[in-house]
Amino acid sequence: DAGVIQSPRHEVTEMGQEVTLRCKPISGHDYLFWYRQTMMRGLELLIYFNNNVPIDDSGMPEDRFSAKMPNASFSTLKIQPSEPRDSAVYFCASNSRPGGLIKNTGELFFGEGSRLTVL
């Protein structure tokens, strides 16, 4: 079975450029999460979707960041304009709420990450 698929795996860009990161969740999963990994702050949740609807975007650093999920099999995280401090590894993860539970305590399935370097 294919896991969570992210692209690109590596991106090097110059300050001010637009960056788009892509994610395909595991088929059948109805939750999708975007995390950012930095040395200083570890794994931080940026935004998560349930059934393609953004539920909580309070972790999105600022208006330069936006995320969309136009359908159940695709999501994008966009940074425009990019800045050097955005350099990090961006992970996408997906899961489904375990049956019979009110809250989604299911384990996360992570993609391999997109390493972004902004010069």
Binding site for another protein (CB under 8 A): 4, 31, 33, 35, 41-45, 48, 50, 55-56, 91, 103-113
Nearer Cβ to another protein, position 57 or 81?
Answer: 57
Closest of 39, 38, 36, 37 to residue 47, by C-alpha: 36
Closest distance of CB 3 from another protein, Å? 8
Measured from the CB atom, is 81 or 89 closer to another protein?
A: 89
Instruction: Answer for the pair 11, 115: CB distance below 8 angstroms, yes or no.
Output: yes
Q: Which is nearer to another protein, 30 or 66 (CB)?
A: 30
Shortest reach from residue 111's CB to another protein, in Å? 6
What is the distance between the alpha carbons of residues 63 and 10, in angstroms, rounded to a whole number? 23
Q: How far is the CB of 76 from another protein (least distance, A)?
A: 19
Q: How many whole angstroms separate alpha carbon 109 and alpha carbon 33?
A: 10
Contact by Cβ (8 Å): 35, 43: yes
